[in-house]
Amino acid sequence: MVGVGMTNATSTANYIAGNLSATVKDTVLKKVLQDCSEKYALAADSLRLTIQDLDDEAYDYASMHVLAAQDYPNVCRNIFRRVKGLAYPVEIRRREASLRRICGVVSGILDRLVE
C-alpha cells in the first residue's frame, strides 16, 4: 500500500510539473505549481522513508513519515488559497483526496502493527 501511495504522489508531482509548460504565462501560477509539484515529490520521499522504517521495525518513524506524506498536499492546497484569484484545480484536489485515503489506510495498518 505504501508503494501505491508513492506512485500516486510521484505521478501527481509529474502531472503538476507537466502543467509548468511554456503555455503558462502567469508567473505566480507557475511558482504555485512548482511549489505544489515539490510538495508531492516530498510526499513520495516520505513514503519511501516509510518503507525503510518498516524494514527497521521503526513503527513510530514510519507513522511520522506517513503523516508527513499525508500533510504535504495540504500545503499545496493552502498555497492556492493564499493567492487571490487562483482556483484549486479539480484534478489536483482529486489526487490529494486519493493520497489522503491511501495514507489513512497505511496509518491504520501501522496502528495495528504497534498493538
Q: Are 83 and 26 in contact (CB under 8 A)?
A: no
Distance (Å, whole) CA 64 – CA 52: 13
Instruction: Specify the amino acid at residue 53.
Output: D
Helix/strand/coil for 26 = coil
- Distance between CA atoms of residues 35 and 57, nearest Å: 32
pLDDT number for residue 5: 95
Fold that domain 2-114 belongs to in CATH: Butyryl-CoA Dehydrogenase, subunit A; domain 3 (1.20.140)
pLDDT digits (tens, 9 = 90+) for 33-88: 999 999 999 999 999 999 999 999 999 999 999 999 999 999 999 999 999 988 99
pTM across the whole model = 0.91
- pLDDT band, residue 18 (cuts 50/70/90): confident
Domain ranges of the chain: 2-114
3-state SS assignment for residue 87: coil
